[in-house]
């Protein structure tokens, strides 16, 4: 069951990821990116990270991607014209990517023993209580700094996106 679920959602994630980078229309990319995020949320659940899975859908799929969609609709961004890529990119891009992936996978397989498996339900420390506990004790300072960062980001977005003063 675990393997089955992992394979399904990993396939969805990779498929949607390919669509994100291969589609020429930004809306198609955005929707497939939501697909990637949704399937990653399921994988987080399989890894026992319940709170992070919910936050993933809430923050990424529900807030960040809505912003993206909004901007795409607002700017009426159309199909991207085929770009004039240089010939080394056309020729070597995809093969080099595959080679890089192969090397990385090989390294991971060598480093993490195969018998180390993920069994659903064996790690239960990812509930809201555990995450909140760690967040407000051990990681309190980063948390506060990040909240200031968010405030700055809001102000920046309002200044940048607001009406131009001229």
For 135, the token pair is 């967040």
Tell me if 153 contacts another protein by CB under 8 A: yes
- Which single residue is written with the structure tokens 């069951």? 1
Interaction residues for another protein, span 26-45 (CB under 8 A):
26-27, 29-31, 33-34, 36-37, 40, 43-44
Query: Judged by CB under 8 A, which of 86, 87, 117, 141 binds another protein?
Result: 117
Q: Are 16 and 32 in contact (CB under 8 A)?
A: yes
Q: Are 40 and 11 in contact (CB under 8 A)?
A: no
Classify 123 as helix, strand or coil.
Answer: coil
Q: What is the dihedral of CA 59, 131, 51, 26, to 10 degrees?
A: 30
Tell me if 108 contacts another protein by CB under 8 A: yes
Query: Judged by CB under 8 A, which of 8, 91, 92, 123 binds another protein?
Result: 123
Query: How many chain residues interact with another protein (CB under 8 A)?
Result: 97
Q: Are 72 and 30 in contact (CB under 8 A)?
A: yes
Interaction residues for another protein, span 51-80 (CB under 8 A):
51-64, 66-75, 77, 80
Closest approach, Cβ 28 to another protein, in A, equals 9
| Binding-site string for another protein from residue 87 to residue 106, where x marks contact by CB under 8 A and - marks none | --x---x---x--xx--xx-
């Amino acid at each position: 069951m675990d393997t089955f679920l992992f394979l399904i959602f990993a396939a969805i994630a990779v498929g949607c990821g390919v669509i994100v980078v291969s589609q020429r229309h930004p809306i198609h990319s955005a929707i497939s990116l939501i697909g990637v995020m949704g399937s990653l949320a399921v994988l987080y659940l399989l890894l026992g990270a319940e709170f992070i899975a919910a936050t993933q859908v809430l923050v990424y799929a529900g807030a960040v991607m809505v912003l993206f969609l909004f901007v795409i609709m607002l700017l009426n961004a159309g199909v991207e014209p085929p770009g004039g890529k240089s010939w080394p990119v056309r020729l070597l891009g995809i093969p080099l990517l595959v080679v890089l992936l192969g090397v990385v996978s090989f390294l991971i397989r060598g480093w993490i023993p195969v018998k180390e498996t993920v069994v659903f339900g064996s790690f239960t420390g990812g509930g809201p209580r555990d995450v909140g506990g760690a967040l407000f004790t051990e990681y309190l300072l980063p948390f506060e700094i990040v909240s200031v960062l968010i405030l700055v980001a809001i102000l920046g977005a309002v200044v940048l996106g607001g009406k131009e003063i001229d």
